[in-house]
Amino acid sequence: MKKARIILDKDFIIGEIDKRIFGSFIEHLGRAVYGGIYEPGHPEADELGFRKDVTELVRKLDVPIVRYPGGNFVSGFNWEDSVGPREARPKRLDLAWFTTETNEVGLHEFADWAGKAGSDLMYAINLGNRGPEQARDIVEYANHPSGSKFSDMRIANGKKDPFGIKLWCLGNEMDGPWQMGQKRAKEYGRVANEAAKMMKWVDPSIEVVACGSSSSEMPTFGAWEMEMLDECYENVDYVSLHRYYANPTGDTPGFLARTMDMDDFIKSVVAVCDAIKGKKHSKHIVNLSFDEWNVWYHSREQDEEIWKQDKWNRALPLLEDIYNFEDALLVGSMLITLLRNADRVKVACLAQLVNVIAPIMTRNGGGAWAQTIYYPFMHASKYGRGTALKTLTDSPVYSCQDYDDVPYIDAVATMDGKGNVTVFAVNRDSKEDYELEIDLRSFGGLSLSEHILLHNDDVRAVNTEEKPDNVVPVAGPGGTVNDGRAIIKLPALSWNTIRFSGK
């Protein structure tokens, strides 16, 4: 068996983990809302039409915040369409996804659902075909107590108390040519600055996220962040990062190494934020909101076919990636990467939550089940709260097409307020089991309480409605702890949650 070693120290702290790092995302896209969380007439529908089975699966993930209502969708969205009497709400062509948006579910209904799911809202405003004026209007509608046009409109629409939405996205992927109202960096930075100022004048307690590049692969990545932040630095709190990975050639080692890119991406955006801080002689720190991240490629061809046959229908089954076991391993590594950067990544959203590139799938009129990627997210969200610890890892490494020195063992550790320590580890080696030594001496007397393992011999294994338990966590082989040194077995290609409890 191959060996790897981790040294932990309770005083080697990366930072406090902002619980919003375990956020997710629901867009008015495909069957995320209609046929996903909301399906009136379904046997599981509650009094408002929300599926209780889906809400329960979301609750188990413990998602503190959900980004809404888009995504690309938001750049053509009028928030006013989604409030007020349902029968008066307009049907609109959605030019982002070539479907028809009926506005049956809007801000009030979604906020009700989020409450049931145990999540706060992260609301994205439209800076595509709209501007700062409509942005301040929706903040007034959502957050102002009463006595003004939009706050009184909210009250008339049945919500006396403000929604109290604390986190707002200043548009979405505004550098992308696919975006309605695409902008140049300086142009966006100006609009974002004015929107942020006016929104914060309405409610000074809010925080706002400026759009970074829609991916690190954009030719303008870096320059966009510099120019945009130069215009709005003092008035924004976070810069967004979005990244999706794919494995179209079936290269598992190369695919599992993609978090090397994610880590570089994060470090580059931090460097740009801090460079602008220096340039402006500012005391203000802009942190990161990695508000779209996941694997996305399985459904791309299928979507082209759907659009050929069925443009403009409501709730087309778009972006319905069926995730396999190796996707779950990469999602695990992406979570490890976010935790490892917890000093600067304060918000992150697994994109998305239901049906659309999602951990949870449903069938219209049928069941709801957890995809493979559900489990690493659930473990990290449940056990990865508290403080992120520096993890000195000594692991054999490999080379693949894009990277050298990829550690076979990818790991991070967290410590909760009671002194319990959790190590999350992916074994990227497709052939070898590892004996992992974890040096825990500084914690004094930790014992192994649980080893949760996700493994399948077939990297292409998936969960389906008929076989929802094909790829599920089991008790791992565990190991021993002697004199503050744990020896744990990590099977080849596995996601591991190793929990140690204090005295």
Catalytic residues: 173, 292
The distance of closest approach from Cβ of residue 156 to ligand AHR in the complex, given in angstroms and rounded to an integer, is: 31
Measured CA distances, 202 to 142, 189, 499 (Å) = 11, 20, 45
CB nearer to ligand AHR: pick between 240 and 287:
240
The distance of closest approach from Cβ of residue 176 to ligand AHR in the complex, given in angstroms and rounded to an integer, is: 7
The distance of closest approach from Cβ of residue 227 to ligand AHR in the complex, given in angstroms and rounded to an integer, is: 20
CB nearer to ligand AHR: pick between 358 and 488:
358
**d(C-alpha 487, C-alpha 485), whole Å:** 7
**d(C-alpha 418, C-alpha 496), whole Å:** 21
Is-contact 284 430, C-beta < 8 A? no
CB nearer to ligand AHR: pick between 351 and 426:
351
Residue nearest to ligand AHR (CB): 71
Task: For residue 345, give both structure tokens.
Answer: 């990544």
Strands of 421-427's sheet, edge to edge?
A: 13-16, 387-389, 409-415, 421-427, 494-501, 447-454, 474-475
CB nearer to ligand AHR: pick between 67 and 159:
67
Q: Which residues pair with 497 in a beta bridge?
A: 424, 452
Other C-beta atoms closer than 10 Å to the C-beta of 319 total 24
The distance of closest approach from Cβ of residue 297 to ligand AHR in the complex, given in angstroms and rounded to an integer, is: 12
Is-contact 207 238, C-beta < 8 A? yes
**d(C-alpha 456, C-alpha 328), whole Å:** 11
Query: Alpha helices of 85-184 — where are they, by DSSP H?
Result: 107-117, 132-143, 149-156
CB nearer to ligand AHR: pick between 319 and 454:
319
CB nearer to ligand AHR: pick between 195 and 415:
195
The distance of closest approach from Cβ of residue 55 to ligand AHR in the complex, given in angstroms and rounded to an integer, is: 21
The distance of closest approach from Cβ of residue 352 to ligand AHR in the complex, given in angstroms and rounded to an integer, is: 6
Task: For residue 185, give both structure tokens.
Answer: 């960096």
**d(C-alpha 165, C-alpha 364), whole Å:** 31
Interacting residues toward ligand AHR by CB under 6 A:
27, 70-72, 172-173, 214, 242, 292, 351-352
Name the helix (H) or strand (E) containing 331.
helix 325-340
465: amino acid identity, one letter: E
